[in-house]
Structure 1
Amino acid sequence: MKNLSVLLSLAATFQGALAHYRWTSLVANGTKTADYYFVRQNTNYNSPVTDVTSNDIRCNAGGLASGASTNTATITAGSTVGFALDQSIYHIGPIQVYMSKAPSTASSYDGSGDWFKLAQLGPSFSSGAINWDATQVGQYTFKLPSSTPSGQYLLRVEHIAVHAASGANGAQFYISCANVNVVGGGSGKPGPTIKLPGGYKATDPGILFNPYYPVPTSYTFPGPAVWSG
């Protein structure tokens, strides 16, 4: 019986790990790029970040240290860009995308500056039912506003898994950052902005969230409003 209990525990752990996923690739010019070529490599395999007060909330565990060894992609303001995963999203929850302008090069930037939100994908609600539109998504793309100022940035994507978010620190953040150089940009003023960490609290309604019962009729995205240019 003891051996059976151990085996069941190991199986549950293994299944949990299989349910995790990583944003491994940048999508630019209609092409999915090689894994971790423009996306900073993390060091926690496919495990999520759960502490919103940690520096890991910027670019995942190890994502700050790997910047110098990661290439920088050239993307054009006004183009469609995005991220691809190593497998489809398994857990329920929203996707959000942020950018932060580097003071010099993207590869040397630690993400300690201001972050603005570019895109988000959350649940839709119909006839008292909730539909998590990000579930089973294998990549997520969005349009970079044409008024985005030229320069080098960190481009950050996150999926916030909320299947266990009804308890403290239960939300799981699956995060990656890419090094990008925006060309052909405009004179827009991106904002509002937040700091990471600092822009999220563990008690924010979109982070401490019960997705099951009573069935939610709305969802509040954490962080600032989307800047659309």
Structure 2
Amino acid sequence: MKFLSGLSVAAVAVEAHYTFPRLVVNGKQVEDRDWQVTRQTKNAQSKSGIENPSSGDIRCYSSSTAPQVATVPAGATVNYISTQQINHPGPTQYYLARVPAGSSAKTWDGSGNVWWKFASTMPYQDANKQLVWPAQNTYATHPAVIPAATPNGEYLLRVEQIALHMASQPNKAQFYLSCSQINITNGGNGNPGPTVALPGAYKSNDPGIQVNIYNIQPESYRAPGPALWQG
């Protein structure tokens, strides 16, 4: 039996992790290089996920804000390019938080009871009766549509993919996420909600975070966070 060297193990671990440095709108990348409208995350080099959902990093995991703001029409389809293959099983979710009047998407930190969820993926069973999620084992997150009724204005757009391969153990789910600075146009008069704070919306023992995905049926999985608002 062959054993991996310490260096090989490290390499495999890095390859199993990922970041989401580029936003895609209606099938087109809006960033010609990494971290232009998407805030650079603290794991830009390590690619490691967050394991403590009560950490302040669960909001945006950002080490800095981004220099630009992308214009995104309401009703647009959004997703993210991944630096590595998204090979860990688990849901992909999307949130928005509207920038308060007098603040800018380039500087606002997203604090407070301001985040609402508009998309979340559900699993299905493969031929081996394993749970898999849409866009798993691809190099881009599963797309979502910004609700057409979303009011105009500047927002932080947040994507997260929750890796559940070790989530039967406490604090072993891994959160991979990014936040982008966007300006929504052609919007509506909706009243998005319910809103939550990040951190605050998740607990480490939530059934969608601490879960044995190898012993449940697809329809029984419940992703963490608030109910969806779809306009």
**Same fold (TM > 0.5):** yes
2:96 maps to 1:99: yes
Which consecutive residues of structure 1, in runs of 5 or more, have no partner in the other structure? none
Q: Distance in 2 between matches of 1:90 and 1:73?
A: 28
Q: Distance in 1 between matches of 2:132 and 2:28?
A: 29
Match of 1:164 in 2: 166
RMSD, matched Cα: 2.0
Q: Kindly indicate whether the alpha-carbon contact (under 8 Å) linking 1:91 and 1:135 is maintained by their aligned counterparts in 2.
A: yes
Match of 1:116 in 2: 116
Q: Kindly indicate whether the alpha-carbon contact (under 8 Å) linking 1:94 and 1:134 is maintained by their aligned counterparts in 2.
A: no
* Count of aligned pairs between the two proteins: 220
Match of 2:8 in 1: 11
Q: Distance in 2 between matches of 1:143 and 1:176?
A: 17
Greater fraction of residues in strand: 1
Q: Distance in 2 between matches of 1:171 and 1:88?
A: 18
TM-score (norm 2): 0.88
Match of 2:21 in 1: 24
Corresponding residue SS for 1:10: helix
Match of 2:38 in 1: 39
Aligned-residue offset at 1:87:
2.4
Matches within 5 A, 1:176-191: 176-191=178-193
Corresponding residue SS for 2:170: coil
Give the percent of matched residue pairs that are identical in Structure 1 and Structure 2: 43
| Amino acid of the structure 1 residue aligned with 2:12 | Q
Matches within 5 A, 1:38-187: 38-44=37-43, 45=45, 46-60=47-61, 63=62, 65-67=63-65, 69-103=66-100, 104-113=103-112, 114-125=114-125, 129=129, 130-139=131-140, 140-187=142-189
| Amino acid of the structure 1 residue aligned with 2:186 | G
TM-score (norm 1): 0.89
Q: Distance in 1 between matches of 2:127 and 2:5?
A: 39
| Amino acid of the structure 1 residue aligned with 2:35 | Y
Corresponding residue SS for 1:163: coil
| Amino acid of the structure 2 residue aligned with 1:95 | T
Greater fraction of residues in helix: 1
Q: Kindly indicate whether the alpha-carbon contact (under 8 Å) linking 1:128 and 1:215 is maintained by their aligned counterparts in 2.
A: no
Q: Kindly indicate whether the alpha-carbon contact (under 8 Å) linking 2:16 and 2:85 is maintained by their aligned counterparts in 1.
A: no
Provide closer, same or farther for how the CA distance between residues 30 and 158 of structure 1 changes in structure 2, counting only shifts above 3 A.
Answer: same
Q: Distance in 2 between matches of 1:143 and 1:133?
A: 15
Provide closer, same or farther for how the CA distance between residues 131 and 102 of structure 1 changes in structure 2, counting only shifts above 3 A.
Answer: same
Which consecutive residues of structure 2, in runs of 5 or more, have no partner in the other structure? none
Aligned-residue offset at 1:106:
0.8
| Amino acid of the structure 1 residue aligned with 2:171 | N
Measured against aligned partners, the alpha-carbon deviations of 1:15-52 in whole angstroms (never above 9, x if no partner) come to: 11111111111112431132211111112221111111
Corresponding residue SS for 2:21: strand
Q: Which stretch has the larger CA shift, 195-204 or 40-49?
A: 40-49
Q: Distance in 2 between matches of 1:152 and 1:101?
A: 6
